Amino acid sequence: MKLCGIEAGGTKFVLGIGDENGNILIRESIPTLDPETTLEAVSRFILKHRPDAVGIASFGPVDLNPDSPTYGEITSTPKPHWANTPILRYLSSRYDVPYGFDTDVNAAAVGESLWGNGRGVDSLLYLTVGTGIGGGLVINGQTVHGLLHPEMGHILLQPYPGETFLGVCPFHKGCFEGLASGPAIERRWGTPAANLSFDHPAWDLQAFYIGQALMSYILTVSPQRIILGGGVMHQEQLFPKIRGRVKTLLNGYLQHPSILKQRDDYIMAPGLGDDAGLCGALALAMRALER
């Protein structure tokens, strides 16, 4: 089975050829420029390798309703020039095979549930904290869509005591993404997250916001495992801080050892590392071919 995965991000597109076991055999990365230039480069990659199926894991928001006239489009994104881009229609018109299409974070959740740290659980929440913040939810092997799809990075949070930073989200200012994404860290501290020291006060602030968001997700969708990926989460010192913050916020309300004992197999890093999204795109292609 020869599968093509496309991880469509706001900064770059990661293209891969792999198999039904999640093995990535060929990988290529291209910058996210204007839609025509970028998607033409993606088309050339697909035509060069001629896979049996293609999976697209896209930044959003996107239209995931197959009955909608705008199915497969990137819709109201703040990414310049990309609003209302028919990414699925563009690619499928140039190479006619089965296509799978979902959000980048939903796809990453699928990849982790099949081949990563989400194996063995019935409900998995995958959250990426990077250029943006988004969440994907897999329940009994299926991603959750609904009215559109979850936009977990845009829930409103209580500000840190004394917080004067207004947030970077152009839609909601002080939402989760606006306060805790990579661009928010850079705007608040004047330098990218990667330049901050291990013991910088930024990480306690990050744990404050991430822990607060996770409390809401735990109380609403009750995931059996939570995986935190994205560039910001390369700061491994965040994980124990976040586990502790979640326990403090829940304050004994949920009597489960995963929370009370702050177990490191409940809130954890991706087993697939930075390949979670691309492997997830391969999984979307595999499922499309199986259908």
Q: Is the dihedral of CA 131, 132, 138, 139 positive or negative?
A: positive
Structure tokens, 124: 């998995």
Q: Indicate the pLDDT class of residue 58, thresholds 50, 70 and 90.
A: very high
Residues 127 and 261 in one domain: yes
Structure tokens, 154: 């845009």
Q: Are 232 and 245 in contact (CB under 8 A)?
A: no
- Is residue 283 in some structural domain? yes
- Domain extent for 84: 3-107+274-290
Q: Which residue from 2, 1, 11, 3 is spatially nearest to 274, judged by alpha carbons? A: 11
The answer to whether residue 235 scores a pLDDT higher than 90 is: yes
Residues 69 and 207 in one domain: no
- Is residue 161 in some structural domain? yes
Cα–Cα distance for residue pair 234/74, rounded to 1 Å:
28
User: What phi and psi, each to the nearest 5 degrees, are found at residue 28?
Assistant: -145, 145
Intra-chain end-to-end CA distance of the chain, in Å: 14
Q: What's the pLDDT at 78?
A: 78
Looking up residue 239, the CATH number of its domain turns out to be: 3.30.420.40
Cα–Cα distance for residue pair 173/266, rounded to 1 Å:
30
| 61-65, 147-151, 196-200: segment of lowest average pLDDT | 147-151
Residues 147 and 251 in one domain: yes
- pLDDT by residue (tens digit) across 245-269? 999 999 999 999 999 999 999 999 9
Residues 262 and 149 in one domain: yes
Half-sphere exposure of residue 112: CA atoms within 13 angstroms, side-chain side: 36
Residues 165 and 194 in one domain: yes
Cα–Cα distance for residue pair 288/282, rounded to 1 Å:
10
Structure tokens, 65: 């309703």
Q: What's the pLDDT at 10?
A: 87
Q: What's the pLDDT at 43?
A: 98
Cα–Cα distance for residue pair 8/60, rounded to 1 Å:
9
Q: What's the pLDDT at 67?
A: 94
The answer to whether residue 291 scores a pLDDT higher than 90 is: no
Structure tokens, 284: 């979307």
User: What phi and psi, each to the nearest 5 degrees, are found at residue 114?
Assistant: -85, -45
- pLDDT by residue (tens digit) across 37-51? 999 999 999 999 999
Residues 135 and 201 in one domain: yes
- pLDDT by residue (tens digit) across 87-109? 999 999 999 999 999 999 999 99
Structure tokens, 169: 């989200």
Q: Indicate the pLDDT class of residue 124, thresholds 50, 70 and 90.
A: very high
The Cα-based distances of 62 to 55, 77, 157, 249, 256 in angstroms read 14, 8, 24, 33, 35
Q: What's the pLDDT at 11?
A: 87
Residues 133 and 83 in one domain: no
The answer to whether residue 64 scores a pLDDT higher than 90 is: yes
pTM for the whole thing?
A: 0.93
Number of separate domains in the chain: 2
Residues 68 and 155 in one domain: no
Residues 71 and 123 in one domain: no
- pLDDT by residue (tens digit) across 202-222? 999 999 999 999 999 999 999
Q: Is the dihedral of CA 97, 102, 106, 108 positive or negative?
A: positive
Q: What's the pLDDT at 233?
A: 97
The answer to whether residue 147 scores a pLDDT higher than 90 is: no
- Looking at the DSSP assignment, which residues form a beta bridge with residue 4? 17, 54
Residues 42 and 176 in one domain: no
Q: Indicate the pLDDT class of residue 153, thresholds 50, 70 and 90.
A: very high
